[in-house]
A and B are shown apart, each in its own frame.
Chain A
Amino acid sequence: METVLAFGILWVICAILIVILSDKWATVALLALNLIIAAFLLTENDLIGALVKAALGIVSPIIILLAIARTKQPRPRFGTLPLMSAALLTLALSYLVAFSAQSQFPLGRTTESYALVALFGIAFLILVSQRSILKLLLGILVLENIGTLLIAWGANTALLSVVAEVFVVLITLTIALIALMDFAEYGSIDGSELTNLRG
């Protein structure tokens, strides 16, 4: 369980960093994460996956940075309470999943499995604590990275790698485009300020 604890604490720190950093630096953090994953893929002898990740993993952050440049507004401060409760919840989730599934989850490769749970925790924390559309997009992209790693560690097929990465770019483009439309309409990309509809 020490490994779980180490990964759990590590990803909570990573996630908090991404959450509290400005959009621009959080995007740079995502770019770094993408490049680290590309390097991981290379060590797993998944050359095509690594190339695709390196190439398209740069495209998504560039699109987000362009969107940030076109949507300059005072960024809302994060709430401490939701952040801490989300951190505790996801830490508990990490323990629960790792403990209940033990070594069978999900690849039979224990350390990598914990790393995936960690990545899931980062995404979860961003998705539950953030309101900025672009921060939410970062959370979605972190979640998609789990798919990338799963493909590399278990499936290792060029087809799946390319398909997953191409759609990551398309998702980024679509959400960034809609964020720009929101900014033009509402002067904000903060989800809590888009309140004309009632949900």
Chain B
Amino acid sequence: MYVVYTLAIPLIASAICALFGRKTKMAAYAAVTGMTLSAVLFTANLFFATSATAGLDSFATTAGLSTVGLMVAYVVIVIGTLVTWFSLPYIKNAGRIYYPLLLIIISTTAAAVLSTNVATLYIFLEIGTLSTAILVTYRKGRAFEAATKFVVLNSIGSSFTLIALILMFLNYGTLNIGSFGSTSSNAVLLISLFLFIGLGTKIGVVPMHSWVPDTYGEAPTPVSTFLAGTVKAATAFILIRFLFALHPVLDVVLLFIAVTAVLTVGVGAFMAYTQKDLKRFLAYSSIEQAGIILFAVGIGSSAALTGGIFQIINNMVMKSLVFLCVGAIIAATKQRNVGGLGGLVTKMPIVAGGFLIGALALSGIPPLNGFISEYLILQAGFDKGGFYPALSVALLVLTFPMFAGYIKVFQRVFLTVDHKKEAPGVSYLSIYIILPIIILSVLCVLMGIFPTAIVDQINKLSLALLGG
């Protein structure tokens, strides 16, 4: 039961925020309280309430929810809580829509991750997509254009997803993916392609990625953080769960996904390197990260899926960290162009440290968490044989521009001091901005040094997904 409470609390808090209307401070505090309560209850449920696990399992099953996705849903709720804290000082004039919609997006993302039912999955995905579209318009002006690209492309993706989900029901005769038997390979091919195009659009796979830089660039930074770090990774998790629920999984589909993933990494990394706007830089880097996750899906072995799901959880932490650091820079300096910044390491040491940890983790540098998951994925690629070793090498080579991009951005924003230019003024940063950065930095390090507990759990899930 606890898990349902934890998902219901943000929705209730969302309704309360909506009731506060233009009393934005009250709405903000209601949102922060609701999300914190949800995260605390979820933590208690996961780590302390062992006696409730049996009850939780049976309730979750009847509600069409899966306990195996709890770990991912937990990270969604935790990141959502940190993003809500961050919003408190960052969003000065939240208006009527900001907090209600943010909380709806957080809770529907967590619910979609837990969903094992074709109908509930579609409902949660759609509510999340439409709420995001409205929230992206928050800053007005150019944000309308970004919202247009987001909603049109994602609605096309939703239509493909809907068709895939209905085809699943038609072919397997049940709404519950846990009860899927086997069907003809033609049907699996069709469902897989529709599912990949539908969910791939939401993940930002090349060539359906054009909405990503505009949306992440124009949405308020906390929203960009949650979209890039969490919603994208959660959607990739949903893709894994539904794709590997199909029997038989076709090698040709996996190879297609792997090739698309390598292309996605290449386009994301090269485009990121050329960006001067910090948020657009991170947006393209999130496309590159999506490619790495999808490459694990394309390999399709249990080792690759373990690496892929660990990369999904890591991506939520790492990407949220760097986005929040950029948000802190924007909040302190009112600038987001790399050229207008410099020498911030002495003025914002915690943010500089957080960004460095996040960037190194995203680049797969040991001993941080990104290294473990990316190593597992590449190792699985080399082990699989066929085209996969060559694709793994290509993937590895294509990630270099991204690493170079992170070094360039860190050097220019935090280290370089141009004495000819006036140094950017830095204003005081609230504890609600600094604390999430510290928590996520610590998580990046801890998950890298002590990955065993998480990897063991994920390994069980991977084996279960492949029917092992």
Contacts and interface: CB of A to CB of B under 8 A. Distances in A.
A160 B168 CA distance: 13
Interface stretch (A40-48, A65-73, A166-174): A166-174
Contact of B148 (A147, A171, A191): A191
B170 to A, nearest CB: 4
Nearest to B218: A197
Interface stretch (B157-165, B286-294, B345-353): B157-165
A178 interface: yes
Given A127-B156, A136-B152, A170-B130, A155 B147 contact: no
A123 B152 CA distance: 13
A147 B141 contact: no
A170 B133 CA distance: 12
Interface stretch (A3-11, A20-28, A99-107): A99-107
B417 interface: no
Contacts of A175: 151-152, 155
Given A106-B167, A144-B162, A197 B217 contact: yes
Interface string B128-169: 001001100100111011111101100110111011001101
**Chain A interface mostly:** helix
Interface of A: 100-101, 104-107, 123, 127, 133, 136-137, 139-140, 143-144, 146-147, 150-151, 154-155, 157, 159-160, 163-164, 167, 170-171, 174-175, 177-179, 181-182, 185-186, 191, 194, 196-199
B464 interface: no
20 contacts: A100-B186, A101-B190, A106-B170, A106-B187, A143-B159, A147-B159, A147-B163, A160-B166, A160-B169, A167-B158, A170-B126, A171-B126, A174-B130, A175-B155, A178-B144, A185-B140, A194-B145, A197-B214, A198-B213, A199-B213
Given A147-B162, A178-B148, A182-B144, A199 B187 contact: no
B210 interface: yes
B166 A151 contact: yes
Contacts of A163: 119, 122-123
Centre residue among A150, A167, A175, A194 by max chain B CB count within 10 A: A167
B453 to A, nearest CB: 38
A197 B187 contact: no
Contacts of B186: 100-101, 104-106
Contacts of A170: 126, 130
A163 B122 CA distance: 9
A139 B162 CA distance: 15
Contact of A185 (B144, B152, B158): B144
Given A133-B152, A199-B149, A174 B119 contact: no
B51 interface: no
Contacts of A186: 144-145
B184 interface: yes
Given A150-B167, A155-B170, A106 B190 contact: yes
Contacts of A154: 166, 169-170
A107 to B, nearest CB: 7
A82 B151 CA distance: 23
A194 B152 contact: no
Nearest to A104: B186
Contacts of B156: 127, 139-140, 143
A106 to B, nearest CB: 6
A144 B130 CA distance: 15
A151 B141 CA distance: 40
B218 A174 contact: no
A186 to B, nearest CB: 7
Contacts of A146: 159, 163
A171 to B, nearest CB: 5
Interface of B: 119, 122-123, 126, 130, 133-134, 137, 140-142, 144-149, 151-152, 155-156, 158-160, 162-163, 166-167, 169-171, 184, 186-187, 190, 210, 213-214, 217-218
Contact of A199 (B123, B126, B130, B210): B210
A100 B190 CA distance: 11
Contact of B163 (A127, A150, A171): A150
Contacts of A144: 159, 162
Contacts of A143: 156, 159-160, 163
Give the 10 A-B residue pairs with the shortest CB-CB distance, closest first: A154-B170, A143-B159, A197-B214, A199-B210, A147-B162, A194-B145, A150-B166, A181-B144, A196-B142, A167-B126
Given A182-B144, A182-B145, 15 more contacts: A104-B184, A104-B187, A106-B170, A106-B186, A133-B148, A137-B152, A154-B169, A155-B166, A174-B134, A175-B151, A178-B133, A178-B137, A178-B144, A197-B214, A199-B213
Given A160-B119, A160-B166, A197-B214, A174 B148 contact: no
A74 B184 CA distance: 50
A13 to B, nearest CB: 23
A148 B162 CA distance: 10
B381 to A, nearest CB: 29
A109 B265 CA distance: 40
Contacts of A150: 163, 166-167, 170
B308 to A, nearest CB: 28
A154 B152 CA distance: 28
A140 B162 CA distance: 12
Nearest to A123: B159
Contacts of B210: 199
A39 B254 CA distance: 40
A104 B115 CA distance: 29
A107 B167 CA distance: 9
Given A155-B169, A197-B146, A164 B162 contact: yes
A171 B218 contact: no
Contacts of A196: 142, 145
A165 to B, nearest CB: 11
A171 B158 contact: yes
Contact of B151 (A123, A167, A178): A178
Contacts of B167: 106, 150
B205 to A, nearest CB: 15
